[in-house]
Structure 1
Amino acid sequence: MNFSYPNGKRYVPKEQAAARAGKEKNLAYSNRGMTLEQDLNETNEYYLNRGTAVIHKKPTPVQIVNVDYPRRSAAVIREAYFKQASTTDYNGIYRGKYIDFEAKETKFSTSFPLKNFHAHQISHMKAVLDQEGICFVILRFSSENQVYLLEAEHLLAFWSRMEAGGRKSITRAEVEEFGHIIPLGYQPRIDYIKVIDYLYNLS
């Protein structure tokens, strides 16, 4: 039997309402776009499992300041702080070449803010290039879910422009001109190796 409130709204038992809300929440989560980090981690796992490349995300340094030992065999971290990363997000090897890159995303659709990068990361990228490593950044415009690979030498040029008093971002037109769009797929999700093959004749 169905019941309705005086305003005409149908009465739904709490149990059914909770189950429905949970189902809608799960559906919403399943439809959300994955983060750039998740997509890249899945891509790198795909490469690793198929013997294509060995690329890993560097662990985030953490400073632990307070630990409790409720049992001799267990420790509980009560207080910790993230240290500022000293280099880039990912590194590894592909066809005998050292690979090093940073991954960033922005909600802006017309430019990519350079404040997303840190001076020590820029210095690290320059050092990698000086050693003839392959270094780049992967940029995602999250509003349109478009991903680009931008070689580090271009990022360094835009950074130098900013330090000289120029604009504090890379325009979308510049990303499109100097970068390389990476079509999103299923497996792998972000196949940046194809772009590396094209740029460095490694295929």
Structure 2
Amino acid sequence: MAIRYPNGKLYKATPTETPAASKSKKKDKDFSYSNRGKSLEDDLNETNAFYLQKNLANIHKKPVPVQIVKVEYPSRSAAVIREAYFRTPSTTDYNGVWNGYYIDFEAKETESKTAFPLKNIHLHQVTHMKSVKMQKGITFFIIRFSALMRDFIVPFEVIESAWQQMEEGGRKSIPLTIFEQQTVEVKTGYNPRLDYLSAVKKFIANKTVCESEEI
């Protein structure tokens, strides 16, 4: 199925995304995750369901509006979508409310063992997150190094700094060492599956300390 952006450009999935055409690849990847067996999106959806059930937070994956333009009917009981467009550019994957704070974040995966490629992030996502930050919302990335089975909760400021350096001619990826030094690593568990709110609390605490020192 062909899916296009609002400007008509053909949508091409990056290695960090999971379109229908890559189901077989995803199965192979999941099989190798003996102690996880699920994608980052699966883990986050389970975590958000746990948060909601326990009245800890109300955070959900954003629906992506798609305009279907071409459908074929090979039989009376079956319809096949051949072409569709994203109605609007996607912003971030998840948003919601926790403890009075607006939460907005993007989830990404990389197979690299040494760095996260910035090509997996789009300009309109950076612009959106700058706007959320300006309105004093809590915005961040959750990035999984799949081959290492490591998950990092990344403050937007880390991505913003790397993005600016890239635009000025610097490197086009963020080294793993930066993640280890400037982000919060979270281990997967049972319930919640990926407790990213524990990292959000640290972000807010650090922000409060910095604001107090400026006064």
CA-to-partner distance for each residue in 1:77-132, whole Å, 9 max, x for gaps? Answer: 53333527431000000001000000001000110000010000000010100100
Matched letter for residue 83 of structure 2: A
Q: Which amino acid aligns with 1:79?
A: R
Amino acid across the alignment from 2:61 = K
Question: What are the residue-to-residue correspondences of 1:19-168 with 2, within 5 Å?
Answer: 28=31, 31=34, 33-67=37-71, 76=79, 78-81=81-84, 83=86, 85-168=89-172
Name the CA distance, whole Å, in 1 between partners of 2:192 and 2:83: 35
Aligned counterparts of 2:126 and 2:33: Cα–Cα separation in 1: 36
Deviation of the 1:62 alpha carbon: 1.6
Asked whether the 8 Å contact 1:149–1:192 carries over to 2, the reply is: yes
Normalising to structure 2: TM-score of the pair? 0.74
Normalized against structure 1, the TM-score is what? 0.78
- How far apart in 2 are the matches of 1:191 and 1:123? 26
In the TM superposition, residue 200 of structure 1 has moved relative to its aligned partner by 1.2
* Alignment coverage as a number of residue pairs: 175
Larger radius of gyration: 1
- 8 Å contact from structure 2 (residues 108, 144) kept in 1: yes
Distance 2:151 2:201 in 1: 17
Q: For the structure 1 residues 160 and 52, does the alpha-carbon distance in structure 2 shift closer, same or farther, using more than 3 Å as the test?
A: same
Cα contact 2:72–2:82 (8 A) shared by 1: no
Give, in whole Å, the separation in 2 of the partners of 1:166 and 1:30: 34
**SS at structure 2 position matched to 1:160:** helix
| Conserved 8 A contact 1:64-1:81 | yes
Unaligned runs of 5+ in 1: 1-24
Contact 1:61 1:85 in 2 (8 A): no
Label 1:145 to 1:77 Cα distance change in 2 as closer, same or farther (>3 A). same
* 3-state SS, counterpart of residue 198 of structure 2: helix
RMSD (Å), alpha carbons: 2.5
2:41–2:107: 8 Å Cα contact kept in structure 1? Answer: yes
CA pair 75-92 structure 1, distance change in 2 beyond 3 A = farther
* Structure 2 SS opposite 1:153: helix
Residue 82 and residue 172 in structure 1: after superposition, are their counterparts in 2 closer, same or farther (change >3 A)?
A: farther
Looking at structure 1, the residues matched to 85 and 44 of structure 2 have their Cα atoms a distance apart, in angstroms, of: 22
